[in-house]
């Protein structure tokens, strides 16, 4: 059964329609019917969407409202052919009486030589009959051309008459129109199905509310969350969303949702409201999934501004400035001595920015060999060079796409890599080694250095144009000696972390405590942390002033004559093996960090602390 049905009002039109459909190999059903029984004749065609009909039958079917109706017209050529037939029958005053939906673009009155023609369109059978009766009473015409109804009634009233047929061209035009409508309906149905499939399967709930606030549409998720009862939308959600188009977290029953309202305006009046919501629990779950993925790849930032421990006004002002910088996407240049926490500050800026859930890639420019910098930074494709990974490799900049890349020790970059970095900053795009494709890039760049870049620019070892590109937002970090009141609380924090909560003050003598309080910490936070870790090795003995002075790198530099030879270790003659091991570790810890001692001795940190402790 076809989706298009052609209803022929005459046997002649029926024959023409079947001929055209067969010739064009179309899937269209054709039936012959008359006004009185057309509804009954069409009823069996249950799959029909579009009906092609003429005159009164078209009007009757249109009034039903079940199908799309295409009207079969009569062209001027068809009218002239009927008039010619009447002229041949001796008529000189002719009326064209037919349904208004059949005849188009024909003038109401016109003459053909001595032939007068009046065109009278009608909208119903009753109007057609009344018109013919009037013409009979007036005796103003001697022939009538028209549709089936007009021709039949004209015959009853004694007029010479003829039927206005629809030509093959008119029938073919109606068929073309029906096919175009069907194609458009199918495309519209497909678009609606696509939209519905998206709306039904997205992870947001969607509810469309009428002007009165009643739900007129809701997707699958909204039913899953709230069931069939949408009273909550009108009574609880909608009043709290009025007057704002922003997002709000609301609690409906036991469910917390993040809502966003979109009003649909027609003639400056809200006709519909679309409420889009997500369960807060679902958002948090997705955030955990994203963070987990980034953690597995190592592309995440640990530190937040709240993790930075400080009581000093200078550092608090620095954090406030950094928080302001985090709200923008501009490049940041962090300046500070070694050990002042430049990477921690960069991580905090990233985590407070709009890119917090995107990658954070940290790069120590000094740790990458110059011959590998280009491939590490920008990546490469298969076969780019000998030894290249077969599948190619993403560069560090590409890994940071949509997130933040932190370039520590930026002053160590060679000039050629500085040039390529400048292009990335200017064009926001990269090209892998061996590739001819340009990859667009959306990243924020945070740089850090403990060097004097202005001096390096003057010496020609750092590009001036790159300096101005990275030095948009300047963030100097104060050294620990300028963070008054921070050193001792930080030392206590790290010591407790290494000793499961014990206080450092119980591990040192009063004079050793005073020495720590006066110390200027040239190695900043990094040195302080190392000292706390060394002290934790001696948590069961009291460290005095001389031992403490030996722990502090600043004291060692001040008294070079007292500095022991780091290449040799002196042991008493009568020493047991455990005592010798303990003394060796003790002396090594005076000059190296615990990590470096473990690496030199080839032992784990647990073994180091076990051997360093005095025998019970």
Secondary structure of residue 494 in the 3-state scheme = helix
Instruction: Tell whether 543 is covered by a domain.
Output: no
Q: How many CB atoms lie within 10 A of CB 162?
A: 21
Instruction: Tell whether 365 is covered by a domain.
Output: yes
405 and 357 co-located in one domain: yes
Instruction: Tell whether 51 is covered by a domain.
Output: yes
Secondary structure of residue 241 in the 3-state scheme = helix
Which of residues 165, 189, 218 is at a domain's end? Answer: 165
277 and 336 co-located in one domain: no
Q: What are phi and psi of 399, to 5 degrees?
A: -65, -30
With beta carbons less than 8 A apart as the criterion, state whether 445 and 331 touch.
Answer: yes
The Cα–Cα gap between 237 and 425 comes to 45
91 and 158 co-located in one domain: yes
Residue 134 has pLDDT above 70, yes or no: yes
Which of residues 478, 513, 534 is at a domain's end? Answer: 478
Per-residue pLDDT, averaged over 296-307, amounts to 80
pLDDT at 570: 57
Instruction: Tell whether 278 is covered by a domain.
Output: yes
- Closest listed residue to residue 381, CA positions, set 437, 424, 428, 422: 437
Instruction: Tell whether 547 is covered by a domain.
Output: no
289 and 305 co-located in one domain: no
Residue 290 pLDDT class (50, 70, 90 cuts)? low
Instruction: Tell whether 487 is covered by a domain.
Output: no
314 and 261 co-located in one domain: no
Per-residue pLDDT, averaged over 461-476, amounts to 94
Residue 562 pLDDT class (50, 70, 90 cuts)? very low
568 and 430 co-located in one domain: no
Residue 453 pLDDT class (50, 70, 90 cuts)? very high
The answer to which of 242-251, 264-273, 321-330, 425-434 has the lowest mean pLDDT is 242-251
pLDDT at 563: 40
Burial class (CB in 10 A: 0-12, 13-18, 19+), 157: middle
pLDDT at 439: 86
Burial of 228-250, coded b for 16+ CB within 10 Å and e otherwise, reads: eebeebeeebbeebeeeeeeeeb
160 and 222 co-located in one domain: no
Instruction: Tell whether 208 is covered by a domain.
Output: yes
- Closest listed residue to residue 277, CA positions, set 238, 331, 321: 238
The Cα–Cα gap between 345 and 408 comes to 12
312 and 373 co-located in one domain: yes
Residue 336 pLDDT class (50, 70, 90 cuts)? very high
- Closest listed residue to residue 218, CA positions, set 283, 278, 275: 275
Per-residue pLDDT, averaged over 68-86, amounts to 86
DSSP 127-169: HHHHHHHHHHHHT--SEEEESHHHHHHHHHTT-EEEE----HH
With beta carbons less than 8 A apart as the criterion, state whether 72 and 171 touch.
Answer: yes
E strand intervals along 197-246: 205-209, 215-218
354 and 458 co-located in one domain: yes
92 and 218 co-located in one domain: no
Per-residue pLDDT, averaged over 567-571, amounts to 56
pLDDT at 140: 85
308 and 425 co-located in one domain: yes
Choose between 280 and 66: higher pLDDT: 66
Quick: pLDDT tens for 378-392. Answer: 888 775 555 555 557
The terminus-to-terminus CA distance of the chain in angstroms comes to: 98
The answer to which of 19-33, 389-403, 441-455, 574-588 has the lowest mean pLDDT is 574-588
pLDDT at 322: 95
The Cα–Cα gap between 249 and 479 comes to 42
Most confident by average pLDDT, 333-337, 438-442, 575-579 = 333-337
- Closest listed residue to residue 362, CA positions, set 420, 294, 309: 294
E strand intervals along 409-505: 429-430, 439-440, 444-449, 473-476
The Cα–Cα gap between 526 and 480 comes to 10
CA distances from 292 to 180, 215, 397, 404, 442 (A): 52, 38, 21, 17, 22
The Cα–Cα gap between 29 and 304 comes to 73
pLDDT at 178: 93
The Cα–Cα gap between 13 and 101 comes to 17
The Cα–Cα gap between 367 and 373 comes to 10
Choose between 344 and 245: higher pLDDT: 344
The Cα–Cα gap between 550 and 590 comes to 6
pTM: 0.50
The Cα–Cα gap between 189 and 308 comes to 58
Which of residues 446, 478, 510 is at a domain's end? Answer: 478
pLDDT at 3: 93
Report the CATH number that the domain containing residue 88 is assigned in CATH.
Answer: 3.40.50.10660
Burial class (CB in 10 A: 0-12, 13-18, 19+), 384: middle
The Cα–Cα gap between 115 and 130 comes to 24
As for how many domains the chain has, the answer is 5
Residue 349 has pLDDT above 80, yes or no: yes
pLDDT at 246: 63
317 and 442 co-located in one domain: yes
Quick: pLDDT tens for 174-229. Answer: 999 999 999 999 999 899 899 888 888 888 888 888 877 777 888 888 777 776 55
Domain of residue 123: give its range: 76-165
Instruction: Tell whether 124 is covered by a domain.
Output: yes
């Amino acid at each position: 059964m076809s989706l298009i049905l052609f209803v022929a009002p005459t046997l002649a039109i029926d024959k023409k329609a079947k001929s055209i459909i067969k010739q064009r190999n179309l899937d269209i059903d054709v039936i012959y019917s008359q006004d009185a029984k057309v509804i009954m004749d069409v009823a069996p065609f249950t799959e029909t969407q579009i009906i092609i009909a003429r005159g009164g039958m078209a009007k009757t079917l249109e009034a039903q409202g079940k199908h799309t109706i295409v009207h079969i017209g009569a062209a001027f050529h068809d009218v002239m052919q009927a008039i010619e037939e009447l002229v041949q029958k001796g008529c000189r005053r002719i009326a064209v009486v037919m349904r208004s939906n059949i005849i188009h673009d024909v003038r109401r009155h016109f003459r053909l030589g001595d032939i007068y023609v009046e065109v009278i369109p009608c909208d119903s059978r009753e109007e057609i009959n009344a018109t013919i009766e009037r013409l009979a009473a007036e005796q103003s015409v001697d022939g009538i051309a028209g549709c089936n109804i007009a021709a039949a009634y004209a015959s009853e009233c004694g007029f010479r008459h003829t039927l206005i047929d629809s030509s093959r061209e008119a029938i073919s035009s109606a068929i073309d129109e029906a096919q175009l409508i069907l194609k458009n309906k199918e495309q519209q149905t497909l678009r609606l199905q696509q939209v519905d499939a998206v709306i039904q399967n997205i992870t947001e709930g969607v509810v469309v509310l009428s002007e009165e606030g009643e739900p007129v549409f809701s997707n699958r998720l909204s039913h899953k969350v709230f069931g069939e009862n949408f009273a909550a939308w009108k009574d609880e959600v909608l009043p709290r969303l009025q007057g704002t188009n922003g997002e709000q977290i609301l609690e409906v029953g036991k469910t917390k949702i993040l809502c966003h309202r979109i009003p649909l305006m027609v003639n400056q009046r809200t006709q519909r409201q679309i409420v889009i919501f997500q369960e807060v629990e679902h958002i948090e779950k997705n955030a955990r999934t994203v963070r987990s993925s980034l953690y597995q790849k190592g592309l995440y930032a640990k530190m937040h501004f709240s993790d930075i421990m400080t009581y000093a006004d200078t550092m608090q002002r620095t954090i406030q400035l950094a928080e302001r910088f985090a709200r923008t996407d501009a490049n940041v240049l962090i300046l500070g001595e070694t050990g002042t926490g430049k990477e921690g500050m960069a991580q905090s800026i990233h985590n407070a920015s709009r890119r917090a859930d995107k990658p954070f890639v940290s790069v120590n420019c000094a740790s990458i060999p110059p011959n590998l910098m280009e491939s590490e930074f920008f990546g490469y494709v298969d076969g780019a060079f000998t030894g290249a990974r077969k599948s190619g490799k993403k560069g560090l900049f590409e890994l940071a796409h949509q997130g933040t890349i932190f370039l520590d020790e930026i002053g160590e970059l060679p000039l050629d890599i500085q040039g390529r970095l400048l292009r990335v900053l200017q064009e926001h795009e990269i090209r892998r080694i061996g590739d001819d494709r340009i990859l667009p890039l959306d990243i924020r760049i945070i740089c850090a250095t403990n060097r004097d870049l202005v001096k390096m620019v003057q010496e020609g070892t750092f590009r001036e144009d790159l300096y101005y590109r990275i030095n948009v937002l300047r963030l100097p970090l104060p050294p620990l000696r300028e963070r008054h009141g921070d050193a001792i609380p930080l030392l206590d924090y790290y010591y407790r972390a290494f000793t499961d909560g014990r206080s450092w003050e119980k591990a040192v003598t009063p004079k050793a405590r005073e020495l720590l309080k006066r110390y200027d910490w040239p190695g900043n936070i990094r040195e302080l942390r190392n000292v706390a870790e060394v002290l934790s090795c001696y948590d069961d003995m009291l460290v005095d002033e001389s031992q403490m002075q030996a722990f502090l790198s600043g004291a060692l530099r001040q008294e070079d004559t007292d500095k022991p030879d780091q290449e040799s270790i002196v042991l008493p003659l009568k020493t047991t093996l455990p005592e010798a091991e303990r003394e060796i570790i003790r002396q090594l810890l005076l000059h190296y960090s615990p990590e470096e001692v473990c690496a030199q001795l080839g032992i784990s940190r647990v073994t180091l602390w076990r051997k360093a402790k005095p025998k019970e």
